């Protein structure tokens, strides 16, 4: 199978969710008037991206063997579309998680061994999202997991490997990062709502229904901006995130207007770019 197919199966549009928290958590160390350890930052970024790719492959495998991805709209599904065998995708997920664990172990040796426990929990959570006998992603807990791991844990953890401690500033900055990471998942689930309902995948979108799922998605975008504005108590330059408000308004209008199915695919890319732009803006604000 071509490398480009594996890259597509890794769902590149979701990678900003892995990059954003590391950018912000690392930049916060500069706000402390302290030295940024570039190697630790790079290692944290590699672990975060590897975990994101791993969970994407794991979801592809688990949903594929359940038949959840049959006739799915959206990014390439390797197993569901028959582009790769279930075994190959499962092995790709396992190898990616193993790579993340190895890099994480090296980072732990340089910083703190509590990262080993955090990494193990993250990998189990990544697999349990759609894998196993009782996946929590099928019970509407996906957004909670994304907020905790790709919001709070990733942002606070990226700061902690630089500073050696946790601060309330890092927790505050994790809120807009987590909200937009949830928005990426929420727009995916809104797109997949009809198919998920048919196979009894009870995502938040399925539980809320079409209209309320759209309201919740817009609320996540709003929460991201409000919490980013609140970060002005750390640095007034955080108010520069208001420059990104037109992007959120454009996305919100499309959601409110009823964009569905394939129409939501470009919006997913826009939410991903918004995530990366907002985190980059916050990082620059902290560096200033």
Tokens of 214: 């759209």
Per this entry, what is the length of the chain? 288
Q: Would you state the structure tokens that stand for residue 248, as one six-digit string?
A: 């959120």
What is the residue extent of each domain of the chain? Answer: 12-287
Q: What digits encode the pLDDT tens for the residues 208-235?
A: 999 999 999 999 999 999 999 999 999 9
C-beta of residue 172 within 8 angstroms of C-beta of residue 21 = no
Token readout for 267 is 């919006």
Residues contacting 109, CB < 8 A, separation 6+: none
Higher pLDDT among residues 16 and 239, named by residue: 239
Find, among 21, 32, 38, 51, the residue nearest to 154 by Cα: 21
CB 79 within 8 A of CB 65: yes
**pLDDT digits 0-9 by tens, 59-98:** 999 888 887 766 666 677 888 888 889 999 999 999 999 9
Q: Where are the alpha helices (DSSP H) in the chain?
A: 3-9, 16-31, 38-66, 86-110, 114-128, 142-147, 154-163, 168-191, 193-198, 204-208, 210-230, 245-256, 264-287
Q: Note the pTM of the prediction, 2 decimals.
A: 0.90
């Amino acid at each position: 199978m071509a490398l480009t197919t594996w890259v597509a199966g890794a769902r590149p549009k979701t990678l900003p969710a892995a990059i954003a928290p590391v950018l912000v958590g690392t930049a916060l160390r500069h706000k402390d008037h302290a030295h940024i350890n570039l190697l630790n930052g790079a290692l944290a970024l590699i672990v975060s991206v590897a975990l994101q790719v791993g969970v994407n492959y794991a979801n592809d495998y688990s949903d594929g063997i359940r038949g959840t991805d049959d006739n799915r709209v959206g990014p390439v599904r390797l197993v569901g579309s028959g582009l790769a065998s279930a075994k190959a995708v499962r092995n790709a997920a396992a190898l990616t998680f193993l790579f993340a664990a190895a890099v994480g172990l090296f980072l732990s040796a340089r910083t703190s061994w509590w990262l080993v426990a955090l990494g193990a929990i993250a990998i189990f959570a990544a697999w349990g999202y759609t894998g196993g006998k009782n996946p929590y992603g099928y019970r509407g807990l996906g957004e909670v997991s994304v907020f905790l791991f790709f919001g709070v844990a990733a942002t606070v953890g990226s700061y902690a490997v630089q500073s050696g401690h946790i601060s309330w500033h890092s927790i505050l900055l994790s809120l807009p990062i987590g909200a937009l990471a949830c928005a990426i998942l929420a727009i995916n689930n809104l797109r997949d709502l009809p198919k998920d309902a048919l196979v009894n995948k009870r995502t938040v979108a399925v539980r809320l229904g079409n209209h309320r799922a759209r309201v919740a998605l817009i609320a996540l975008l709003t929460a991201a901006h409000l919490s980013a504005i609140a970060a002005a108590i750390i640095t007034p330059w955080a108010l520069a995130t208001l420059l990104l408000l037109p992007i959120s308004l454009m996305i919100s209008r499309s959601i409110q207007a009823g964009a569905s199915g394939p129409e939501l695919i470009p919006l997913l890319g826009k939410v991903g770019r918004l995530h990366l732009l907002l985190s980059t803006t916050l990082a620059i604000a902290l560096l200033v």
